[in-house]
Amino acid sequence: MGKIRKLSQNVANQIAAGEVIDRPASVVRELLDNSIDSGSDRITIRIEDGGSSLIRVSDNGAGMDKDDLLISIERHATSKISFVSDIFAIKTLGFRGEALPSICSVSRVEITSRRADQISAYRLKASGGTIESIEEAGAPAGTTVDVRDLYFNTPARRKFLKTERTETGLITDTVSRIALPFTDIYIKLLDNYTGKTILNLPSSDSELNRLTALFGKEVAQSFMDARFTHGRFSLRAYLAPPELSRTRGDRIYVYINNRNIRDKLVMSAITGGYGQRLMKGRYPQVALFIDIDPAFVDINVHPAKQEVRFEDGRVIYQSISSTIARALGDQINPFKSSFDISHEKPVFQPPVEPGRIQEADAPVQAYQQEATVEQQGLEVKEAISETQQALFSQKKATYQQLDTEEVITPVRKEIPVQQVQPSDSHDHINENPVVIGQLKGTYLLFEERDGLLIIDQHAAHERVVYETLRQKYAAKKMESQNFLLPVNIELSKKDARILEEKL
């Protein structure tokens, strides 16, 4: 007898569910997509225990009759497509017919639905993928889906769930991301135990109101509007200035035909558009909307439908990056915000030979050939503040006020330009570098064994303050006092929820 056997439908469904339903937030995503596709203008989501005990999604959409309700939990049953070619014209959020059967296979589900032209609703109950009953019920037009005891029959999956707080946070983020483009739909997320509202997004004619609810008032009011139109697609972006950047990329919202996606190419294009305006390790706050002919993008890459493939990714990348860079360039001078550059005395001006520059927008490649340039005089300030001096207090060295002529003497000799590869490693920095001076009120210059050391004094000072606070916190010596007058701060819904939990 052969070793290969065909899996039962129930086992196959549970395996397939692992791709679609990996945590409670995935259930919410699939059900919310279905509610939006049904034409709802009001959707309410209730959760218990971070979604592991209960997820209830209610809408006032088109609803289903008895026949549709029965077939809706069968795999690959959908009203969105009939032929393969339909996939490349699809604009609805769902179309694969996998969500409900996957959810039913790993939970206890109750679906109540009524079409507006019907007198009675129907209620279907299923457990572990098996239908237990279907009966008439009283309910308003629309659909309500109750998902209870998620992973009750797959305990190995359940043990990988995070804490209630973490899962609730992921659900909140999922709802926020899906809801942003659909400003005409009222979406509300509540804790079913306490009745507390976690997220409240009223419908609005203004996109700014939805942006304000998700990003906070300060960020929303700072957004710059950038637009670009190509033959096959158009872009619309809301860009926060670089000074409002964050340490995480969780405030980058990307949409293709109103579908929230997570795409590395698009993310790279966004950060590329900001370029050196962002410090290393910082991410901008952006809402980017791409409207594109469905024939030129493949959304059927993964069951979660959050990964895409573009027919011409190069054009998409360049369009996004250049549109953002142009918008920021029109409104922000990346140098003036930090220091002013004297045009009368440039810091460095290498000679340019005709024909050497082939294309202005081409990426800079490593320079392999030996060359020579003339080094001009550098403008160096004469003093370093006490805070900056404290960065190297361990060496207990002193220095006299430095004169520009003594620090860097202008030379008129040719020096070879060698290929230099930037390094993120700081292991090579000497403990006792020699202080040279300060450049443009922003950079500290030091001479060390291996050459010139340049430190961004603002970033260094931030690190010193950060490490000091860490040490005080670890030693439980944090100092605090109440304000004489209260100070109001604007927070996004997500940040406000986190703050409440920490208080």
Q: What is the pLDDT of residue 318?
A: 95
**Residue 430 domain flag:** yes
**Residue 272 domain flag:** yes
Are 302 and 372 in the same domain? no
Could you tell me what percent of the chain has a pLDDT over 70? 77
Are 111 and 260 in the same domain? no
**Residue 206 domain flag:** no
Are 39 and 61 in the same domain? yes
* Domain extent at residue 273: 215-331
Range of 47-56, 372-381, 478-487, 491-500 with top mean pLDDT = 47-56
Are 20 and 167 in the same domain? yes
Q: What is the pLDDT of residue 427?
A: 54
- 29 or 359: which leads in pLDDT: 29
Q: At residue 435, what are phi and psi to the nearest 5 degrees?
A: -70, 130
Please tell me the number of Cα atoms within 13 Å of 417 on its side-chain side.
12
Are 327 and 365 in the same domain? no
**Residue 14 domain flag:** yes
Pairing status of strand 259-261 against strand 121-127: unpaired
Total of domains in the chain:
3
Q: Where are the alpha helices (DSSP H) in 304-366?
A: 313-331
Are 252 and 388 in the same domain? no
The domain boundary, picked from 147, 177, 201, lies at 201
The rounded distance, in Å, linking the Cα atoms of 494 and 498 is 6
pTM of the model: 0.70
Are 186 and 101 in the same domain? yes
Q: What is the pLDDT of residue 237?
A: 97
Strand partners, 148: 54, 108
Are 321 and 368 in the same domain? no
The domain boundary, picked from 331, 354, 380, lies at 331
**Residue 162 domain flag:** yes
Q: Where are the alpha helices (DSSP H) in 359-492?
A: 386-389, 404-407, 457-474
**Residue 502 domain flag:** no
- 438 and 444 in contact (C-beta within 8 Å)? yes
239 — pLDDT class (breaks 50, 70, 90): very high
Amino acid type, 273: G
Mean pLDDT computed over every residue of the chain: 80
**Residue 114 domain flag:** yes
Are 40 and 177 in the same domain? yes
List pLDDT tens digits, range 33-47. 999 999 999 999 999
Are 261 and 186 in the same domain? no
Are 404 and 255 in the same domain? no
CATH of the domain at 115: 3.30.565.10
CATH of the domain at 303: 3.30.230.10
- 156 and 164 in contact (C-beta within 8 Å)? no
The domain boundary, picked from 161, 177, 201, lies at 201
**Residue 493 domain flag:** no
Are 399 and 449 in the same domain? yes
List pLDDT tens digits, range 353-386. 444 434 444 444 443 444 444 444 444 444 445 5
Q: What is the pLDDT of residue 94?
A: 76
